[in-house]
Copies of this chain bind each other. A is one copy, B any other.
Amino acid sequence: MKFISEQRHDDGVLEREFTLGEIPGTLWTPASAEAAPVPLILMAHNNGLPKNEPRLVARARDVAARGYAAATIDAPGCGVRPRSAEADQARADLRAAMQAGAPADELDGIFERLVGPLVENAAPEWLTTLDALLDLPQIGDRVGYSGWTALGIRLAVTDPRIAAAGLFAGGYVPVALRAEAVRFTIPLLFLLQWDDEGNPRQRALDLFDAFGSREKTLHANLGGHVGTPWFEAEDAGRFYDRHLKS
């Protein structure tokens, strides 16, 4: 893991870009991490939005200001990484199908082609990154996950180091990953926008029901995909505090 840039924010949070082989990433750490290791939260946006996407960066800095290391990467085909022809084709098909008013099951078929491979390609790189991050002296052994639901399911059922997850119910989850939800057993905070455009509410509620976690909480708020109220960041902070700091 090579750090290639470093920026200190006014609130003491240190923001560093890194590369790990071909993987570009960003790590945010609070000032307190220089005295003692802090828990880590892996932060991924639905469907592999770029690691410098402003809302993701804002959330990561907020998490770091709460005493966590926060990390994100550009997974294969995402952000600055070389694009995948298959994913580009699927995205073009999706746009065309939406403009044509295609039925939901046709859209779902395209989403399967798009999101399935994104998750399959992203998961091993996130775990490689996790290995490297856990070797840093600033980072302790408590690990949480935040954001992209489909990837979060895959990581949590694969890697027992991930101890708690806050998932955003606003992205397509491939059928195969929905079937894995029963094996997802860590504490879960599931965040739903009640009127999320294009993300069927009932499917999200069914997924919440399917998770195997004994402790799971659903927070639903009125509004569309990007309308999550600010107080949910505070609620998420307390969720991680309960599971990663106590």
Listed in ascending order, the chain A residues whose CB lies under 8 Å from chain B are 194, 205, 208-209, 213-222, 229, 231, 234-235, 238, 242
Contacts and interface: CB of A to CB of B under 8 A. Distances in A.
Nearest to A209: B194
Contacts of A214: 222
Contacts of A242: 231
Nearest to A190: B220
Nearest to A214: B222
A235 to B, nearest CB: 7
Tallying the copies of this chain within the complex gives 2
B222 A219 contact: no
B219 A217 contact: yes
7 contacts: A205-B205, A208-B220, A214-B222, A216-B222, A218-B218, A219-B219, A235-B235
A229 B217 CA distance: 10
Contacts of A213: 222
Contacts of A217: 219-222, 229
Contacts of A205: 205
A234 B238 contact: yes
Contacts of A234: 238
Nearest to A213: B222
A222 B215 contact: yes
A236 to B, nearest CB: 12
